[in-house]
Structure 1
Amino acid sequence: MGNKMAITKSKAGWLADVQPGGRGSKRYRKTFRIQAEAKVWETWIRAQVNSNSAWSPEKRDMRKLSSLAELWYESHGKELQAGEDTYKRIKALIVEMRDPMASDFDVIMFTKYRAGRIDAGITLSTVNREHAYLRAMFNELIRLGSWKKDNPLKDLRQFKVQENELSYLNSEQILPLLEQLQASSNVHVYLVAKICLSTGARWSEAEGLTLTQVRNGIIQFARTKSGKTRAVPIAENLEQEIHAHHKTHKRSNVLFDYCTGAFKEAIERTKIDLPPGQLTHVLRHTFASHFMINGGNILTLQRVLGHRDLKTTMRYAHLASSHLEAARALNPIAALTVG
């Protein structure tokens, strides 16, 4: 849209209304005694805009926040492992915020939004994830040159969340659970759970395995949360069991059907009490916990689980037998003689 300039007669005199950059740009208004003075001022404003960039400030960004989200998805998000799911979550929170103008979105608007979410009973972890989604979206748009301003959430801190104690199954729970899984009408659930317990795989990784990922005593997990492939050795009898299962239930290259529901039913039948949100993930925690209890190395565990950050794996370090022995031997009174 071109420059908007107008001179109109008013009770106070002649009003010059000038908007050099068009819609969304800075507007200048001034009243003059006679029309000729207004025209001279209008001409002067036009000359300043043409010769001095300071007189032609950047136009307001008229895009909606949803438009930025779509741009992020099309230029970057759809190539990510969980890009489609992340895009759905971003769109949902934008709807909750009533899709503001991109130029109006700021840290105050988001803090009001997340306060409302918390009042509605949404967990701090979920609110932190929403914060991370939007912050990452703006960072990527800045990198692509599609957002010229600062990231509006760059200085906003996330809430500190108290880490819940990780729940894992002991040997007295694992055997009855495997028995219930083996007795299930779902022919896939037992072996999927067994793979999780043997490799520390996430349920979705084990459930989505194909035959070509299992060979030479190794399972290659390709569709992982981090997007990186990792290889985990397995026992010969487990590999044979997987191939035998495929031979019995031939499904092209696919090994298993969806079986999360069957796992939940088996947990309920064994009366195992699990924290909220730790249904199938308890198997991954169980692998990691027993790995450390039995003398495993924390760096090896990091590679097996596929954690990017060692801090994530360190949650299991306190279970190491060497860690417990150190507490006995290295405490401040261990070397003292107590009468």
Structure 2
Amino acid sequence: MAIRKLSTGKWLCECYLNGREGKRVRRQFKTRAEAIAFEQYTLDEMKAKPWLAEKEDKRRLNELVELWYKLHGRALSDNKGRLAKLYIISNGMGNPVASEITAKDWAHYRDDRLEGKIQNGYKTSLKSLKVSPGTVNCEHAFLRALFNELERLGEISYPNPLKNIREFDQPEKEMAWLTGEQIQKLFAACKIHGNDDLTLIIKICLSTGCRWSEAASLKATQLSPNKLTFINTKGKKNRSVPISDELYKELKERKDRYFKECYRQFYLVIRLAGIELPEGQMSHVLRHSFASHFMMAGGNIIVLQRILGHSDIRVTMRYAHFAPDHLEDAIRCNPLALMAKNNGGKVAAEVPAE
């Protein structure tokens, strides 16, 4: 239902008695109050005569997944991956009627996932691999986003069934970064491997804090005097980062698309350099290393946010503890330090003898 003012000065009340596909009722009024009263009258009529009201939504979850993909999902950068993940979720839940999904249904689904009772999107009695709470949280976010988007598009009229369900708390992951000595070993390993493209990509990542994919896909048009512009980024926004004269000259000598695929070779040189990284971290260690050294050198956290392209400062704050003066007030302002200052260098004043 909608009420809006027309160019004639009158107010239009527009109602659909059976959803967008049903009968439409339109009436014009001199005042907005009359239009509102008519809207309320129509609502009351629909309640008194249920056969006029919107039909119950019996579409199954797979149907909504297809609809979401058609209207929104196909425009995402990882559209096929997201679609496949949503089908796994839907099939794992038994492809239920979407409007009938409850918090309890989701709680039992994620329990089955954690216990390894769902394999390739279907329940099974066979022993399958258990997933981590992080994987379940990711699925939670995907399905919640689907319902939110369809609600925004007016395709569903019921509330998001996952709206008030909390995700699992996850401990902060270990964030590895390379020391100066490790960086030297890495370049030495690259020299042994003899891959110039690999060496230059590592230089770009360590010089600008960019992601591996951003560096590996660079083209000549993204290079300007002492500056690189990264496009098609994760945050959907282009950003430019200054570079040294030396790096600019190296890149200027190349033409068209700069690099051949060499991501797998990075694994080899990391092992060759004897560097051990936490599980799930590989090339991203170069981005972490840039940010860590930037802060240790006294860099500004806001400037770092812009260089890395983070839309949320909270993500950049992970590197704040590398700043030389980070939380140093804890040394100066703790109660023992204050007591020592007030008592001439002693932690506590002498207790007078009785």
Give TM-score, length-normalised by structure 2.
0.75
Seen in structure 2, the aligned counterparts of structure 1 residues 322 and 150 have a Cα distance that, compared at 3 Å, is: same
Q: Which moved more, 1:324-333 or 1:266-275?
A: 324-333
Seen in structure 2, the aligned counterparts of structure 1 residues 74 and 268 have a Cα distance that, compared at 3 Å, is: same
1:324 positional shift: 5.5
1:88 aligned to 2:84? yes
1:302 positional shift: 0.8
CA distance in 1, matches of 2:335, 2:251: 52
Equivalent residues of 1:81, 1:227 under 8 A apart: no
1:256 aligned partner: 259
2:206 aligned partner: 197
1:307 aligned partner: 310
Q: Which moved more, 1:137-146 or 1:98-107?
A: 98-107
1:97 aligned partner: 93
1:174 aligned to 2:183? yes
Equivalent residues of 2:291, 2:319 under 8 A apart: yes
1:215 positional shift: 1.2
SS of residue paired to 1:188? helix
Seen in structure 2, the aligned counterparts of structure 1 residues 331 and 241 have a Cα distance that, compared at 3 Å, is: farther
1:323 aligned partner: 326
1:123 aligned partner: 132
1:332 positional shift: 2.8
Seen in structure 2, the aligned counterparts of structure 1 residues 51 and 180 have a Cα distance that, compared at 3 Å, is: closer
SS of residue paired to 1:333? helix
1:41 aligned partner: none
Structure-to-structure mapping, 1:176-325, within 5 angstroms = 176-244=185-253, 246-247=254-255, 253-323=256-326, 325=328
5+ residue gaps, structure 2, are 1-17, 19-44, 117-129, 348-354
Amino acid at match of 1:259: C
CA distance in 1, matches of 2:199, 2:153: 47
1:329 positional shift: 2.7
1:112 aligned partner: 108
Seen in structure 2, the aligned counterparts of structure 1 residues 323 and 81 have a Cα distance that, compared at 3 Å, is: same
CA distance in 2, matches of 1:338, 1:148: 69
CA distance in 2, matches of 1:83, 1:230: 24
Identity %: 43
2:350 aligned partner: none
1:338 aligned to 2:341? no
CA distance in 1, matches of 2:138, 2:229: 29
Equivalent residues of 1:292, 1:317 under 8 A apart: yes
1:29 aligned partner: none
1:330 positional shift: 3.1
CA distance in 1, matches of 2:274, 2:92: 39
1:59 aligned to 2:67? no
Amino acid at match of 1:105: I
SS of residue paired to 2:318? helix
CA distance in 1, matches of 2:321, 2:296: 9
1:161 positional shift: 0.4
Seen in structure 2, the aligned counterparts of structure 1 residues 258 and 51 have a Cα distance that, compared at 3 Å, is: closer
CA distance in 1, matches of 2:214, 2:47: 62
Amino acid at match of 1:75: L
Equivalent residues of 1:81, 1:225 under 8 A apart: no
1:174 positional shift: 0.6
CA distance in 2, matches of 1:51, 1:330: 66
Query: What RMSD over aligned residues (CA atoms) do the two structures have, in Å?
Result: 2.2
Seen in structure 2, the aligned counterparts of structure 1 residues 92 and 255 have a Cα distance that, compared at 3 Å, is: farther
Equivalent residues of 1:217, 1:236 under 8 A apart: yes
CA distance in 2, matches of 1:146, 1:182: 57
Higher relative contact order structure (alpha carbons within 8 Å, sequence separation ≥ 6)? 1
Equivalent residues of 2:232, 2:238 under 8 A apart: yes
CA distance in 2, matches of 1:320, 1:51: 63
Seen in structure 2, the aligned counterparts of structure 1 residues 332 and 259 have a Cα distance that, compared at 3 Å, is: farther
Partner deviation per Cα, 1:73-95 (whole Å, 9 max, x = no partner): 22112223333432232223223
1:140 positional shift: 0.8
Give TM-score, length-normalised by structure 1.
0.78
Amino acid at match of 2:266: F
Equivalent residues of 2:99, 2:158 under 8 A apart: no
1:160 aligned partner: 169
CA distance in 2, matches of 1:133, 1:161: 17
Structure-to-structure mapping, 1:3-152, within 5 angstroms = 52-55=48-51, 58-120=54-116, 121-152=130-161
SS of residue paired to 2:248? helix
1:125 positional shift: 1.7
CA distance in 2, matches of 1:83, 1:224: 16
1:57 positional shift: 5.4
